[in-house]
A and B are shown apart, each in its own frame.
Chain A
Amino acid sequence: MKVAINLDKAQVAEMYRQMALIRLFEEQCARQYQQGKIRGFLHLYIGQEAVAVGAMSVTRKDDYVITSYRDHGHAIAKGIHPNAVMAELFGKVTGCSGGKGGSMHLFDIEKRFMGGHAIVAGQMPLACGLGLAIKRKKEDSAVLCFFGDGAVNEGYFHESLNLASLWKLPVIFFLENNMYGMGTLVSRARAAGKDIYLAADAYNIPAAQIDGMDVAAVREATAEALKRVRTGDGPVFIEAMTYRFRGHSMSDASYYRESSEVEREQVRDPIPAFKKLAVTEGLISEKELAQIDKEVEAAVTESIKFANESPNPPMEALFEHIIAS
């Protein structure tokens, strides 16, 4: 965490609000899962909030965001209402995918949130295509493509970096390195070990490694990357070093790491760190923080109520939207 934040009061409040919202939302998701309200696979974003919030804070409405199955944080940060996300997790018709996508497949095309995608690295070629469409239309919007360290050993990763660089596509490849591809430590899965961002050099893509626990650093790096991408100079690669405090999914028994490791990493927790710094710098008061916490709690409670009270999709939905007609 840097010693000073280059943010104004309103920005600090908003970024704190979003991180706190995602954190509480995810904690409540875990509870709803245990109660059987949420089924299937559930991958929580707890610990990584600074990445989605920092990155999204400098994007425009017409920028595309596409990500993996750990997508609740990106969806909320991109502006999808928590009610619509929670309802989707409950499988309800009011969910952002009509109850047919679930946790791993959130969509809101109007907001240019182009999906959570559940095949590891599968969203990377799609990001190239979105970038190609932008380029063909001669627009200056960008694609933010999020993926985890587990994706970097897939063929798609290499194919996509190559194509995006070759064709100078406006894509930010945003690696959230949370150290584990499911339960396998990066160094046990990748011959070149850590510093994955160096791989971008092989494709002639400028790359940086940043502290993914520092929301201000993520914001700055993203703003810098967007500048380049919008000028048509081609993709940028960002590796945000982060950590997930919960398991890979709810069915993860965490055999592969010591609880002491998680405790050690929790010192880097992006939310208390940001809070402390912002208060020290006089950018926000304890009272304001408490007020935001209260609002966030109300929003999450409301989302659960909304999801609970929403109906299931009608039986006709089973056959809807398979093909155009």
Chain B
Amino acid sequence: MAEIIMREAIARGLREALDKDERAFIMGEDVGAYQGAYAVTKGFFEKYGPERVRDTPIAEGVMVGAGVGAAMAGQRPIVEIMTINFLLLGIDQVVNHAAKLRYMSNGQLEVPLIIRTVTGGGAQLAATHSQSFEGWFASVPGIKVAIPSDPYDALGLFRSALDERDPVIFAEHALLYGFKGEVPDAPYKVPFGQAAVKREGKDITLVAYGRMVHVAQNAAKLFAEMGKQAEVIDVRTLRPLDLDTIVKSVKKTNRCIVVEEVWETGGFGSWIAQSVQEAAFDDLDGPVGHVGGLDVPAPYNGVLEAAAIPDAKRVLQKAKELFGM
């Protein structure tokens, strides 16, 4: 067991992929000679060479599409899209092609493609570079979406992504690359569709994913100071979604708030909240709460930006409003 940062956990997963499967290769903008925009593939170019670690032109449409096409022909492409904001230029290939080919071909085709991309705000990159679109993708049948919150999950989920025979969006929060955590040396996997109870409690369930898991943890600490025990659930994969673990928790705590970074309007967390409402209505002491990013484009100014992203204080405020906690 060693403590490593999330960047290293993902890099380990990538090295394992290239080492064990000749069909696997990485392509993306500046993944090679530049060593990766977020340095995840540092050293890869030297170790594996330009055929396995392919620098592409800045052209997300063909980058994603070539990944889909290579997967259609039996390869195991891992495409890095520098940020999820740029994936909008490749979204047609994800939604209209990768997600549909198995179904439209009646099972003749499959697209075992991993798209790694960086999500989230908080680095003062302003409106076009700070968004969280993983939930958009999660609403599309035919693709899977994983979003780790710590190094253990990052490596475990990535290993599972490698086993998947469907397209996977693997969203990595920019502010978590340097986050440290224990990762065992022995092999393990974190299966898709299995949420994690990251902290146990009996008074309220906080459901979150990505960096918001840490916001929920901070909120839980504040609740503890008030003598309340919050249970924190990390969804880990938005699709498949493990509703059972969430509902089981809510049946125990009778209160639930979903926390996510994307805008409050139409966020994926609203779907989680609605699903909890349907599944556990009789066990609820109040409506299921939802805390999302404020409905504004991300401002550059740090003070303004911080105000737009959910924090522990807003979670507590929501609990007070809904449950008088």
Contacts and interface: CB of A to CB of B under 8 A. Distances in A.
A156 B65 contact: yes
B61 interface: yes
Contacts of A321: 102-103, 105-107
Interface in B268-283: none
A163 interface: yes
B56 interface: yes
B169 to A, nearest CB: 13
A49 B141 CA distance: 36
Interface stretch (B1-9, B39-47, B91-99, B286-294): B91-99
A114 B141 contact: no
Contacts of B101: 115
Nearest to B95: A119
A117 interface: yes
A119 B93 CA distance: 9
Interface in B84-119: 89, 92-93, 96-97, 101-110
Given A133-B70, A159-B61, A323-B144, A126 B97 contact: yes
B165 interface: yes
Given A127-B69, A133-B70, A108 B108 contact: yes
Interface string A201-232: 00000000000000000000000000000000
Contact of B71 (A129, A159, A324): A129
Given A107-B109, A163-B56, A129 B65 contact: yes
Contacts, number: 139
A178 interface: no
A125 B142 contact: no
Interface stretch (B72-80, B130-138, B301-309): B72-80
Contacts of A129: 65-73, 75, 77
Nearest to B100: A105
B92 A122 contact: yes
A267 to B, nearest CB: 38
B62 A125 contact: yes
B73 A130 contact: yes
Interface string B135-162: 0000001101000000000000000000
B97 A117 contact: yes
A301 interface: no
A161 B316 CA distance: 54
B324 interface: no
Contacts of A64: 73
A133 B65 CA distance: 13
Given A114-B72, A126-B97, A323-B144, A97 B77 contact: no
Given A129-B77, A155-B61, A323 B69 contact: no
A156 B143 CA distance: 22
A97 B74 CA distance: 19
Nearest to B102: A321
B299 to A, nearest CB: 30
A253 interface: no
Contacts of A100: 103-104, 106
A128 B59 CA distance: 13
A320 B74 contact: no
B102 A125 contact: no
A98 B106 contact: yes
A50 to B, nearest CB: 27
A125 B110 contact: no
A134 interface: yes
A160 interface: yes
B25 A323 contact: no
Interface in A118-151: 118-119, 122, 124-134, 136
A285 interface: no
B96 A133 contact: no
B104 A163 contact: no
Contacts of A134: 73
B104 A105 contact: yes
Given A97-B106, A122-B97, A324 B165 contact: yes
Contact of B75 (A99, A127, A133): A133
A307 to B, nearest CB: 16
Which of A107, A126, A160 gathers the greatest number of chain B CB atoms within 10 Å?
A: A126
A109 B62 contact: no
A183 interface: no
B62 A159 contact: yes
A128 B69 contact: yes
A110 to B, nearest CB: 8
A126 B56 CA distance: 15
Nearest to A119: B96
Nearest to B106: A98
A3 interface: no
Contacts of A98: 106-107
Given A128-B69, A129-B70, A129-B72, A322 B102 contact: yes
Interface string A39-65: 000000000000000000000000010
B164 interface: yes
A27 to B, nearest CB: 26
Interface string A143-175: 000000000000110011011001100000000
28 contacts: A97-B104, A98-B106, A99-B106, A110-B108, A114-B72, A115-B104, A117-B97, A119-B97, A125-B62, A126-B68, A126-B97, A128-B62, A129-B66, A133-B70, A133-B74, A133-B75, A136-B25, A136-B70, A156-B61, A159-B57, A159-B62, A160-B65, A162-B62, A167-B54, A321-B102, A321-B103, A322-B102, A322-B103
Q: List 6 A-B pairs, minimum CB-CB distance, nearest first.
A: A129-B69, A125-B65, A98-B106, A133-B73, A159-B62, A126-B69
Given A119-B96, A160-B65, 14 more contacts: A98-B107, A107-B104, A114-B72, A115-B109, A125-B64, A132-B69, A134-B73, A136-B23, A136-B70, A162-B59, A163-B57, A163-B66, A320-B106, A321-B102
